[in-house]
């Protein structure tokens, strides 16, 4: 993998969180804007995808017919709240989708009617003919030329040239990025703008299947498929609904039989001469089936995808988001993920008889002409650690600068008769010997010690009035990002095993792994090694997540359960992965896992709350409904509701209102803290299980205190 580009760099220890939306809070304007969609979703052809709410809608229709046939205030009050229950359920989904549509509108602005300059029979270096065509007419394999100020007409790879590209329409980042032919930074996205130079792009998309088209479909929810866990939960909810349908149906003959054996029992609008009225049966069914989770289940899934989009991560399927929550093994590239990506100066080690300040000054001077990241880090470290003032090549007008090259492996400066050199140990020692100087044995000990610790030694030498000598060694090391050890500790508490992948030798890899706190490492890794590691983990029954950006990462990304491709990477990598990180920040994989776990926990918590609600409502309604038939049930009537009618209406109202109350939680997600699965389960049962039982008792009683004054409630 390559290190992240400078424009995508983020603070150490974490990735930038660029929230595009208001989190889980509901904007009143969004609520009003979503109302028409909520009404449109009342269409049974739409409702059939949610079996629980379809039953509620059928019940509402049946209750409406009964209320028309035998009008009463109680009957119409029930009808109104039954329809509101269905509407609130649709509103939860409409609000979740509405936030995605708002993001899609922003993305559509990047999809303009661009005219492409297609090259006919293009070949590298050959003279070609241009023709102008509409961007939607481009075919896969076409070559187009794009110059400064022009919009890239389609997704593809740069095959010639290098250019600065503005990708703010896609990523939200205002800083331009460099795209060039060859390597792992060749992919470009349609709708972005070239700011400088000229590039030739080979189109890799099919017509109508551009990256922006996929993004729009995903954030709007049009292509959201239900995940396996979501399907399983839907089957469970449907089964519970069927069970309660039969359970409620048996109450009618039970009531008729009981009234026949108790002729002195007075009739009411709840229990008449023929047993339980139809409206009461519908109300009882709606209150007992898991309507709360049935209403919020779709919104939870959409919101999970939305939270990823807010962090500039595009999940190509809900299955990938769900799999992220179940990940057992995390494969992380060392460079740019665990470390900052460039080795930096961390220590000056002078030889005997040389002061640290003298070595620091010589190292700084000899690095002024070294434009590599390592050279710049030496200049900065000398200034920060030893208080040396910042110097520039322009200040030393009579100096002869020796720039670093791959051939000499040295940089330096000639100040009259005072020459300074800094570079690889072998190169500098050879230079010192070539100038007639001697290399002390002490130098070899220091160099070997740094190498054994996983660092890189750079030797500093000087020539003064014809006398050459070695001054000391600069210790360069991979700097682990701040806070990474804490992040890996969090992963460990989640039960996730972290594996660092690096091309370094095992000695260097172990030093970095120990400092960062990862569980294991794979040194001198090749693409085949990565793929084999993933297969071994999966054969052991574990789910694997990894990041990648190059074509050589594509096989491993495709094999991983969660493959996160960097947006700066190649088209092959993005097609192989099931997620794309638009910020190209490899550390974001940790956040993706946390979002996946939050999605699963939110779904589980609200399911627990919903089922606990049903239990509480059962104890609230049944005793109030049958206490006149079976006086012994009065012991269970702990809420002392005013009447059977007020008990039923209060339960129906509470059942509708609790959906609206829980919409923000479904959209924002239950707060997640890294912990073992057993602790998370205990917490959910304590908070949402016990809370789900207590809330209906309090809510229904408070509503009963209000509705008891309505007509026909006493």
The annotated binding site for ATP is made up of 370, 374, 404-411, 422
Long-range pairs, 45-49, Cβ under 8 A, ≥24: 47/86
Structure tokens at 440: 């002390």
Distance, in Å, from the CA atom of 337 to the CA atom of 10, rounded to the nearest integer, reads: 11
Distance, in Å, from the CA atom of 162 to the CA atom of 175, rounded to the nearest integer, reads: 17
Three-state DSSP at 654 gives: helix
Q: Which residues are annotated as a binding site?
A: 370, 374, 404-411, 422, 549, 553
Distance, in Å, from the CA atom of 187 to the CA atom of 493, rounded to the nearest integer, reads: 37
Residues listed for the chain: 714
Q: What distances in angstroms separate CA 52 from CA 56, 59, 657, one per listed residue?
A: 7, 11, 17
Three-state DSSP at 165 gives: strand
**DSSP assignment, residue 687?**
I
Distance, in Å, from the CA atom of 553 to the CA atom of 577, rounded to the nearest integer, reads: 9
Structure tokens at 689: 């299980």
Q: What distances in angstroms separate CA 388 from CA 93, 374, 378, 379, 385, one per listed residue?
A: 61, 18, 12, 9, 8
Nearest to 371 by CA among 414, 415, 405: 405
Please say whether the beta carbons of 512 and 478 come within 8 A: yes
Nearest to 286 by CA among 675, 515, 554, 613: 613
Structure tokens at 69: 């046939």
First to last CA, the chain: 74
Structure tokens at 241: 């609904």
Q: How many CB atoms lie within 10 A of CB 431?
A: 21
Please say whether the beta carbons of 398 and 434 come within 8 A: no
Q: Which residues are annotated as a binding site for Mg(2+)?
A: 549, 553
* Residues sharing a CB contact under 8 Å with residue 143, sequence separation 6 or more, in sequence order: 118, 119, 122, 159, 200, 201, 202, 203
- The CA-based dihedral angle spanning residues 295, 300, 302, 304, taken in that order and rounded to the nearest 10 degrees: 180
- The CA-based dihedral angle spanning residues 598, 602, 608, 613, taken in that order and rounded to the nearest 10 degrees: 160
Please say whether the beta carbons of 441 and 470 come within 8 A: no
Query: Facing residues of 423 across strands?
Result: 410, 459
Please say whether the beta carbons of 437 and 468 come within 8 A: yes
Distance, in Å, from the CA atom of 314 to the CA atom of 577, rounded to the nearest integer, reads: 11
Please say whether the beta carbons of 34 and 87 come within 8 A: no
Concatenating the DSSP letter of every residue in 607-620 gives HHHHHHHHHHHHHH
* Residues sharing a CB contact under 8 Å with residue 126, sequence separation 6 or more, in sequence order: none
Distance, in Å, from the CA atom of 600 to the CA atom of 14, rounded to the nearest integer, reads: 23
**What positions carry a catalytic annotation?**
333
Distance, in Å, from the CA atom of 110 to the CA atom of 575, rounded to the nearest integer, reads: 21
């Amino acid at each position: 993998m390559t290190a992240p580009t400078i424009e995508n760099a983020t603070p150490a220890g974490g990735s930038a969180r660029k929230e595009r939306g208001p989190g889980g809070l509901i904007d009143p304007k969004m609520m009003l804007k979503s109302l028409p969609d909520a009404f449109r979703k009342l269409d049974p052809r739409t409702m059939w995808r949610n079996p629980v709410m379809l039953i509620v809608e059928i019940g509402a229709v049946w209750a409406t017919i009964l209320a028309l046939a035998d009008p009463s205030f109680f009957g119409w009050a029930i009808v109104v709240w039954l329809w509101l229950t269905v509407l609130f359920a649709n509103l939860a989904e409409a609000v979740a989708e509405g936030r995605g549509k708002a993001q899609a509108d922003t993305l559509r602005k990047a999809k303009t009617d661009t005219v492409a300059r297609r090259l006919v029979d293009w070949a590298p270096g050959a003279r070609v003919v241009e023709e102008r065509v509409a961007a939607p007419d481009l075919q896969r394999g076409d070559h187009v030329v794009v110059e400064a100020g022009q919009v890239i007409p389609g997704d593809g790879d740069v095959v010639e040239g290098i250019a600065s590209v503005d990708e703010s329409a896609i990523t939200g980042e205002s800083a331009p990025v460099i795209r060039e032919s060859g390597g792992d930074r060749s992919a470009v996205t349609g709708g972005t703008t070239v700011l400088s130079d000229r590039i030739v792009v080979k189109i890799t998309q099919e017509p109508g299947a551009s990256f922006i088209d996929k993004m729009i479909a995903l954030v709007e929810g049009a292509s959201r498929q239900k995940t396996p866990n979501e399907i399983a939960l839907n089957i469970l909810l449907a089964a519970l609904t069927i069970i309660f349908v039969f359970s409620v149906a048996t109450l009618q003959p039970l009531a008729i039989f009981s009234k026949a054996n108790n002729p002195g029992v007075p009739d009411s609008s709840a229990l008449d001469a023929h047993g339980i009225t139809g409206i009461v049966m519908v109300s009882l069914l709606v209150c007992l089936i898991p309507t709360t989770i049935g209403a919020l289940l779709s919104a939870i899934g959409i919101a999970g995808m939305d939270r990823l989009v807010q962090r500039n991560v595009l999940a190509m399927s809900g299955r990938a988001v769900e799999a992220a929550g179940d990940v057992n093994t995390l494969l992380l590239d060392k460079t740019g993920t665990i470390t900052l990506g460039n080795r930096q100066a961390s220590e000056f080690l002078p030889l005997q008889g040389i002061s640290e300040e003298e070595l620091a000054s010589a190292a700084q001077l000899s690095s002024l002409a070294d434009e590599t990241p390592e050279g710049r880090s030496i200049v900065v470290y000398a200034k920060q650690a030893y208080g040396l003032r910042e110097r520039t090549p322009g200040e030393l007008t009579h100096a002869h600068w020796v720039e670093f090259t791959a051939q000499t492996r040295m940089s330096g400066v000639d100040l009259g008769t005072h020459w300074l050199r800094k570079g690889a140990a072998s190169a500098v020692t050879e230079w010192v010997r070539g100038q007639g100087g001697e290399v002390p044995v002490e130098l070899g000990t220091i160099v070997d010690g740094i190498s054994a610790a996983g660092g890189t030694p750079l030797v500093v030498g000087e020539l003064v009035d014809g006398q050459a000598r070695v001054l000391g060694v600069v210790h360069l090391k991979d700097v682990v990002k701040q806070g990474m050890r804490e992040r890996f500790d969090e992963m460990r508490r989640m039960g996730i095993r972290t594996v660092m992948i690096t091309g370094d030798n095992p000695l260097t890899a172990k030093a970095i792994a120990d400092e960062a706190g990862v569980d294991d490492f794979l040194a001198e890794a090749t693409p085949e090694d990565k793929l084999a590691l993933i297969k071994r983990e999966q054969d052991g029954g574990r789910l694997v997540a990894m990041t990648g950006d190059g074509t050589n990462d594509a096989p491993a990304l495709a094999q991983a359960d969660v493959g996160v491709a960097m947006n700066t990477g190649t088209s092959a990598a993005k097609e192989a992965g099931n997620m794309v990180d638009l910020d190209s920040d490899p550390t974001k994989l940790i956040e993706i896992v946390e979002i996946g776990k939050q999605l699963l926990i939110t779904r589980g918590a609200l399911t627990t709350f919903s089922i606990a609600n049903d239990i509480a409502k059962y104890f609230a309604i049944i005793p109030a409904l049958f206490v006149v038939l079976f006086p012994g049930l009065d012991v269970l009537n702990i809420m002392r509701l005013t009447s059977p009618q007020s008990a039923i209406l209060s339960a129906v109202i509470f059942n509708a209102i609790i959906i609206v109350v829980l919409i923000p939680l479904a959209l924002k997600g239950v707060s997640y803290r890294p912990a073992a699965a057993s602790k998370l389960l205990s917490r959910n049962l304590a908070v949402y299980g016990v809370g789900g039982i207590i809330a209906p008792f309090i809510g229904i009683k408070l509503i009963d205190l209000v509705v008891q004054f309505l007509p026909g409630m006493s």
